[in-house]
Every structure is written in C-alpha cells, then in structure tokens.
Amino acid sequence: MPKANELKKGTAIEINGEPYVVKSIDVRNPTSRGATTLYKVRFTHMKTRQKLDETYKSDEMLKAADCSRCNVQYSYQDGDTYYFMNAETYEQYSLSAEDLEGQTEYLSDGLEGIIMLLMDDAALGIQLPTTITLQIVETPPSMKGSSATKRTKTAKLSTGLEVQVPEYIESGEMIKVNTDTGEFSSRA
C-alpha cells in the first residue's frame, strides 16, 4: 500500500474498487506553518480510459491495484502502436500512443528495465525506469569561457524529446534523463 508521496507515473492504484494508473503528479507545498504537502494526481482508468483528478496529503495510504507486472523491452513502433517484448517468455504486448500518453518520447530501440502492467493478461500501461540514456542529435555549439552562473541551452534528443542541458554539453553526447521530471540528470 503506497503512500501518496511515493506515487510515480505509471503506478497502478485501486480507487473505489476500480483500477487506475497515475498519469501526472503536481506537488503543492503550502507556505503556512503546519500545512502539509498536497499531491494533485491525475489518474486514467485502466479499462475505460476516463480521467480522474484527486488530491491527497503526503501521508495518505492508497491501495495498489491488483494487477501483475513483468519486465519488458521496447521493440518497435508501427503507426500509433508501440510493441514490447517480455524479457523471459518473449511474449509480445502492444499499447497505443494514447495509452502511453507522455511516455513515448522516452522510448528508444531496445530500451530495457520497463515494467508492463497487466490485468487479465491484457497490457494496460508501462512504468519507465527512473533514468534513461539518450543521444543528443541537435544543440547549439558549446560556449567558451567560464561563468559563475548555471546557464543552460535546449538540446534535441534522438527520440524527439527536448531538454535543457548545461552549456558545455555538445551534439553527439549521450546523456541521462530523469523520466519523472523530464530533466537532464548527467552525462552517460
């Protein structure tokens, strides 16, 4: 039973006996004394795809959905359908771009460490690894000279994702990106 402050994108939760998956989390830190941190969570129903918005205090307990999980590897994309392969049984699973809302930009050929959520042997969604390694395909040239400030520039990655990176990073470099925040983590 996870607490609200332990939720991540792709976590499966049961609300009123129905299975939902976390699509986004907005953390609100109140400024007054004694106030607790609030987590505004957007869920998507695993079967009907209806959206649900809920707000929780950080220590509220939630019930994990009764679904199975297996390790998969991203295989390929065909139109709006993304295919994954079970690492042990070689069974194929497919999900639509709508099912993977906000996660497709992190998928690169052969990406491992993905957890597939299954209910009644039907693929419902995925949980991405916390960090992934991607190559920079386009970024402005690095700036010469030192600066006391932390300056960034936009970099386009091999999957089409754009992130802010430090000035000294160049095109062709491999970097690690945090899949929870969508931000640059480090060089690979």
Q: In terms of Cα–Cα distance, which of 39, 46, 38 is closest to 65?
A: 46
Distance of alpha carbon 77 from alpha carbon 50, whole angstroms: 25
Per-residue confidence (pLDDT) for residue 68, from 0 to 100: 85
pLDDT at 46: 78
pTM above 0.85, yes or no: no
Q: What is the pLDDT of residues 109-139, one digit of tens each?
A: 889 999 998 877 788 888 889 899 999 999 9
Beta-carbon contacts of 32 under 8 Å, excluding residues fewer than 6 positions away, are none
Which residues sit opposite 162 in a β-bridge?
A: 156
- Determine the 3-state secondary structure of 6 from DSSP: helix
Most distant CA atoms of the chain, gap in Å? 59
Check residue 168 and give its pLDDT.
86
Q: Which pLDDT score, from 0 to 100, does residue 69 have?
A: 86
Stretches in the chain below the pLDDT threshold 70: 34, 143-149
Separation between Cα atoms, residue 188 and residue 181, nearest integer Å: 17
- Two tokens, residue 65: 């959905």
Query: What domains appear along the chain, each with residue ranges and CATH number?
Result: 4-64 (2.30.30.30), 68-127 (2.40.50.140), 131-187 (2.40.50.140)
Question: Are 61 and 1 a contacting pair, CB within 8 Å?
Answer: yes
Query: Across the strands, what pairs with 81?
Result: 78, 96
